[in-house]
Amino acid sequence: MALKRLKRELEDMLKEPLPHCSAMPNEEDIFQWTASIHGPKDTPYEEGIFDLIMIFSSEYPFKPPKVSFKTRIYHPNINTTGGICLDILKDAWSPALTISKILLSVCSLLADPNPDDPLVPEIAKLYHDDPEKYASQAREYTQRYAMKHSTPVSTTASASAPAPTPTPTSDSTPMIVITP
């Protein structure tokens, strides 16, 4: 069931790619995917490219995948090991959800953090108490870890390019390239 579903979702994503997101399975294991998300416009994450790992079990879609950020990010709902506090990846999971919907939800979380259900309480407190300082810290992390000039993640764009485009990661995992 899981294998068939993952293949169908891959076909769907190839037919109708998401704007600002990409995902592709590992060449040797369709249960391990690499995804990239462009930081949403008008956020501290803008111009950054954030890589994620998605690991699916044989029980997918009845159990959610394990999704984590590979790229460091300063966010109240994402911890230093890349763990994500997002209800659809836990209690609110439904077999109707897809890889595309997961990526859209993560994009949404970047654009609109949920400080009331934080994974990193200190960052959530800063988000509430001093939004400008929070945004400055998040921008600094984005520049340091999510842009080509400062991260080992392979991209084709520089920090000054208008729209970064993901390319295969250093382990040669193929990626769907989507330009906004």
45-94 pLDDT, tens per residue?
A: 999 999 999 999 999 999 999 999 999 999 999 999 999 999 999 999 99
Q: Which active-site residues does the annotation give?
A: 85
End-to-end Cα, the chain, rounded Å: 33
What is the predicted pLDDT for the residue at 131? 98
Close Cβ partners of 120 (under 8 Å, ≥ 6 residues apart): 75, 76, 77, 78, 79, 80
For the chain, residues with pLDDT lower than 70 are 149-180
Q: Tell me which H or E stretch contains 21.
A: strand 21-26
Structure confidence at residue 148 (pLDDT):
75
Q: Which CATH superfamily is domain 1-146 in?
A: Ubiquitin Conjugating Enzyme (3.10.110.10)
Q: Global pTM?
A: 0.81
